[in-house]
A = this chain, B = another copy of it.
Amino acid sequence: MAKIIDGKALSKSVLEKIRQELNDFKAIHSNFRVGLAIVQVGNRDDSNLYIKNKLRTASDVGIEAKHLKFDRSVHQSTLIEEINKLNSDPRINGIIVQLPFDSENEIDSDLIVNTVSPNKDVDGLHFANAGKILHGQINDAFVPCTPKGCLELIKSTGVDLKGKNAVVIGRSKLVGSPMANLLKLSDCTVTICHSKTVNLPSVCRAADILVVAIGKAKLVTSDWVKPGAIVIDCGINSIKEGEKNKICGDVDYEDVSKVAEWITPVPGGVGPMTVTMLLANTLESAKRYYTSFEIDTQWKCS
């Protein structure tokens, strides 16, 4: 039976590290603060839930999160104005735009996401951050939270990634594509698959590391998986079980557990890591800002 990669436990320990590091910084620099702004348009139930979770977790680690909730009638130009204010507000280190919008008006989500300063784009969705990922310059980029979390989950198994065959199913800009690039930068040989892939099960069977991000409940079964593989399941699908709705992944967990060496459960795998990585990115942003400011001050004094 596969060992479980416990995303909840890993997430907890990373959050504790973030809290600790933030406090250590504060102890030395009393004015050190970390601020996150969450921009929402409208009132989708799922968005409300996600945002509540982000606000609570931020507060738990000492990050000051601010929720800007705009009415469904808000205009694109107002949003741009407000984001520009956040861009120039030194108390805000991270800005995220909760998608999809719930809006009466036409809002270009690409334009809005790219209005966020790349230096505060802690969701890693700005073209400039995506470009740095493609170019392999991730040290001063922000990496999208779900693939960043997946990589941490994979690393937590202790496996040496160099030269491993990794297969990613899904090529979205949010998950699949940045994931494939992160694995490439970790020295894996990476294959990226999607709905046009021929013989998908047999491509997957060559994977030492299989990351699944497709949005189809339990599609991946044991005959798709090489014995001993690491399987990371990004899927969040709602299925009916009797009268109740249940959340499940893109991987048939029970079945795949029989052949994989490591597997993430859903819930409790990738999900918790996503929010945690958002806060890790926000702290990182604050540290970069503070460091550049420090260097700048030293330079001006010298």
Query: Does B198 lie within 8 Å of A163, measured CB to CB?
Result: yes
Q: A203: which B residues are within 8 A, CB to CB?
A: 189
Within 8 A of B (CB), among A171-198: 171, 173, 177-178, 180-181, 184, 187, 189-194, 196-198
Q: Which of B131, B171, B196 contacts A162 (CB under 8 A)?
A: B196
Question: What are the interface flags for A97-139 relative to B under an 8 Å C-beta threshold, 1 for contact and 0 otherwise?
Answer: 0000000000000100000000000000011111111111100
Q: Which residues in chain A, 127-157, are within 8 Å of chain B measured between CB atoms? A: 127-137
The answer to whether B190 and A191 have CB atoms under 8 Å apart is yes
Which chain B residue has the least Cβ–Cβ distance from A187?
B196
Say whether A197 contacts B163, CB under 8 Å: yes
Give Cα A173–Cα B137 distance, bound, in whole angstroms. 10
Q: A190 to chain B: which residues have CB within 8 Å?
A: 191-192
Give A38 Cβ to nearest chain B Cβ, in Å.
Answer: 22
Which listed residue (B128, B130, B191, B194) contacts A187, Cβ 8 A?
Answer: B194
Give bound CA distance, A133 to B190, whole Å.
18
Question: What B residues does A135 contact at CB under 8 A?
Answer: 127, 130, 173, 177
Q: Which B residues are CB-close (under 8 A) to A134?
A: 130-131, 133-134, 173, 177-178, 181
CB distance from A30 to the nearest CB of B (A): 34
The smallest beta-carbon distance between A242 and chain B, in angstroms, is 38
Residues of B within 8 A of A127 (CB): 127-129, 131-132, 135
Q: Name A residues whose Cβ lies closer than 8 Å to a Cβ of B.
A: 110, 126-137, 162-163, 165, 171, 173, 177-178, 180-181, 184, 187, 189-194, 196-198, 203
| Chain A to chain B contacts (Cβ below 8 Å), 16 pairs | A127-B128, A127-B129, A130-B135, A131-B132, A134-B177, A135-B173, A136-B173, A163-B198, A171-B184, A177-B181, A180-B192, A184-B194, A187-B196, A189-B192, A189-B193, A189-B197
